[in-house]
Structure 1
Amino acid sequence: MASHRKRRWSLGGLVLTLTTALVGAALVSANDAVAPRAGAATAAQTWSDEFDGPAGRGPDAAKWTLETGGGGFGNHELEYYTNSTSNASLDGQGHLVITAKKNTDPGLGCWYGQCQYTSARLNTARTFTQAYGRFEARIKIPRGQGVWPAFWMLGNDLGSAGWPNSGEIDVMENIGREPNSVHGTIHGPGYSGAGGLGAAYSLPGGKAFADDFHVFSVDWSPNSIVWSVDGTPYETRTPADTHGNKWVFDHPFFVILNLAVGGDWPGSPDGSTAFPQTMVVDYVRASTSGGGPAASGPIRGIGGMCADVAGGSSADRTPIQLHNCTGNAAQQWTVGNDGTVRALGKCLDVAGGSTEAGAVVQLYTCNGTNAQKWTYTAAHDLTNVGANKCLDAKDGSSADGTRLQTWTCNGTAAQKWTVG
């Protein structure tokens, strides 16, 4: 199953070419894609590619980066990924076609010598990242021993945190020797590679996934990731599944499509494998889940100061204050679809669940109470659901170290916040 394979990226390719883009732009795309709004009850699409365009045109460069190389990508894969339209192009009928084929260029070198195959691998690291929501794609996968199509995601901090600390969500993987099954898996620190957390889904009646299009999706919230095929959920993972290891699915991720050939998990093609093989993608879409859009990044308030976890401590009851913006982890917040506002793996909390004006706010272990549920409104208020009061800078001060509290909403600058 999916947990048998190793990492899916290479320092020689993705990380070194995209680190600056990830640091500078990773939090921008999802936040700009949809304006915050109060009380949203339905999902809102934040990004998509429907692959409309003339036959033979390459993937939209404003949405996708084509990776190149034949280093094996940590799995001893056999293909060389190219940026050629012979390996990734539109078909003129609303599809992206990723083609794996035998290599005819003697100048292409792979980790094992002259490359035997070429294919394509696309990512959105430069152009789109998002924390939480629904990610789905409608795909007709290839068939054959040794072929390995995938629709998956990596954390936007890959360049700084490294794999698996940045996290990996495999929405769909298939290995050709299992034509009836696909796999959904997560990888993180202490549960990666052979220890990845995953499950398989098999089509009823022994049907093959390569026979038709199917919709593969995850619904991702701060407390769970749910995998579905054609609208049927088949796997759920929560922080409890990591058995004390860090749950790293609390920040934006980017999307990847690729068709590998060979590798440690699927094995090599054999005499039964016909080439070329194609992975046909009808669409890729991302949306928010019900409950409003997710946003990530600093929370800036009065005087341009940032909401900050005092001392960068993740201990329960750590005060939340204003501080000069530094960009460190103590100032990186995620406003989730479930109403939580999180930093350092814990939740923004009204002390004691108080509903009184002037109650201090703190960092606390997430527990699902209304003291930890917030609504980010179109007016840029952060309103606590339990108290029906606004996050407020005490005494309207913008001084470094000003304690944050809840207060009756009054529309003043002390209660206006910008996320991201």
Structure 2
Amino acid sequence: MGYFKNIGLIFLLFISTSCKKADSGKGSSQTAPTNLVITATPNTNGSGNVSFKATADNAVAYTYELGNGTIKSAATGIIDYQYTLVGNNTYTVSVTATSSTGLTLKKSIDVTVNVIAGVASLVWSDEFNTDGAPDATKWGYDLGTGSNGWGNAELQYYTNRPENSIVQNGVLKIKLIKENYSGSTYTSARLLSKDKFAFTYGKVEVRAKFPTGTGTWPAIWMLGSNINTVPWPACGEIDIVEHLGRDLNKIYATLHYPGRSGGSADGGTRMIANATSEFHIYTLEWTASSIRMLADGQVVHTVNNSSSIPFNHDFFFILNMAMGGNFGGAVDPAITNATMEVDYIRVYK
């Protein structure tokens, strides 16, 4: 009996150990996605364009079912899609997040999209969906100090380093850094589409978020493409949106041209909520008869256009972050870094 009893104990111990080993490995490398969040930002101009973004923990891929039979996949979770059915229509959009081991999590939201027949079409954009340096086919750089702080006594040195401008997680980040660099006390970046893209008349939409910090001066603006032969302000300047760290949530929209430049520029302002903590849409509506600049669909400034002012030829874009200067004002020395984020920039005609 003692022999058989020992054999039985050994057998039970083997079974117990085997079960524990099997249990200990179960699910150890198979973590399902969690916390799936979907956001949808429909374009407000009737084009039917919608920007979608999905995020989830432990997900490496996302599949969209767009509510009209269309299915699209995106490793980043970010897609742009244009609905074409005319009218105000609501779609149930489902997103499936997938882990590296094939486990999934699915969630749905309703999106209402307005499509107007004959609306202007998208002719140029940068969605900033590819990580790394800004797209060299669309953007170049102004470098240095502009000899006199770019005409405004600004403090930054503009570089083309990834430390100062980079695309990450679906947004362009222009970063101001407090550091000694080539005789300046700050570095930043100034991107421009000069000699790569310019246009006359159309609608511009930019989705952006601005930094806090006294002295910071982010701007999204345009200059006349003839600036090499027709100096500023005769070439014209359109400031779609500017924000000052000393005036949080005050949006500036301004035109500069002969007789209305510098401190006597033709501009307006509007207060909005959360300009530094949330993304907002800033718009330029530019025709031969009028120029309107808006924030989240609310007019900031309007000017009657005519042949007497220089806004009837090609302009190019500039995206930059300045520090201090005549408009940026006094600088808080405690600020060591600040970032302007741009989700996208689009041109419709």
Match of 2:123 in 1: 46
Percent same amino acid among aligned pairs? Answer: 40
1:198 has 2:267 as partner: yes
Contact between 1:189 and 1:246, CA under 8 Å: does it hold in 2?
A: no
What residue number does 2:170 align with? 94
Indicate whether 1:219 and 2:219 are aligned: no
Partner of 1:4: none
1:248 is aligned with what amino acid?
A: P
- Native 8 Å contact 1:169 1:186 kept in 2: yes
**1:199, 1:166 → 2: CA distance?**
21
Question: SS at the partner of 1:286?
Answer: strand
Query: Among residues 300, 318, 330, which one is paired with 1:256 in the alignment?
Result: 318
Report how far residue 234 of structure 1 moved: 2.9
Match of 1:160 among 217, 229, 241: 229
Q: Does 1:287 align with 2:348?
A: yes
Unpaired runs of at least 5, structure 2: 1-116
The offset of 1:41, in angstroms, is: 2.7
The within-5 A match list for 1:1-400 is 41-54=118-131, 57-70=132-145, 71=147, 72-91=149-168, 93-105=169-181, 108=182, 114-203=183-272, 207-239=273-305, 246-271=308-333, 273-288=334-349
2-structure distance, mates of 1:103, 1:146: 15
Going by fraction, where is helix more abundant, 1 or 2? Answer: 1
- 2:124 partner SS: strand
**Matched residues in 2 for 1:156 and 1:195: separation?**
23
The separation in 2 between residues aligned to 1:270 and 1:149, in whole angstroms, is: 16
The 8 Å contact of residues 237 and 256 in structure 2, kept in 1 or not, is answered as: yes
Question: Distance between the aligned counterparts of 1:258 and 1:180, measured in 2?
Answer: 18
Structure with higher strand content: 2
Structure 1 position 104, deviation (Å): 4.0
Q: Distance in 2 between matches of 1:44 and 1:255?
A: 19
**Does the CA contact (< 8 Å) of 2:287 and 2:305 recur in 1?**
no
* 2:343 match: secondary structure: strand
Task: Summarize deviations over 1:144-184 as a string: whole Å, max 9, x none.
Answer: 11000000000011111111111000000111110020100
Q: Secondary structure at the match of 2:228?
A: helix
TM superposition score normalised by structure 2:
0.64
SS of 1:264 mapped into structure 2 = helix
Matched residues in 2 for 1:234 and 1:102: separation?
A: 32
Q: Which amino acid aligns with 1:212?
A: E
Q: Which amino acid is 1:266 matched to?
A: G
In 1, the alpha carbon distance for the partners of 2:170 and 2:235 equals 33
Aligned to 2:107: none
Q: Is the 8 A contact 1:143 1:179 kept in 2?
A: yes
Which residue of 1 is the match for residue 31 of structure 2? none
Q: TM-score, normalised by structure 1?
A: 0.53
Assess if the C-alpha contact under 8 Å between 1:188 and 1:246 holds in 2: no
Tell me by how many angstroms 1:239 deviates: 3.8
CA contact (8 A) 2:253 2:300 kept: no
Report if the CA contact (8 A) 1:223-1:239 is conserved: yes
What CA deviation, in whole Å up to 9, does each residue of 1:42-96 have, x standing for no partner? Answer: 1111110001113xx11111000011011300000000000101000011x1101
What secondary structure, in the 3-state scheme, does the structure 1 residue paired with 2:326 have?
coil
- For residues 261 and 180 of structure 2, the distance between their equivalents in structure 1, rounded to whole angstroms, comes to 35
Q: Is the 8 A contact 2:291 2:305 kept in 1?
A: no
| Partner SS state of residue 197, structure 2 | coil
RMSD of aligned residue pairs (Cα, Å)? 1.5
Residue 193 of structure 1 deviates from its aligned partner by 0.9
Partner AA of 1:238 in structure 2? N
Partner amino acid, structure 1, of 2:139: W
Aligned AA (2:199): Q
Runs (4+) off by over 3 Å:
none
Larger radius of gyration: 2
Which runs of 5 or more residues in structure 1 are unaligned? 1-39, 109-113, 289-420
Say if 2:252 and 2:300, in contact at 8 Å, map to a contact too. no
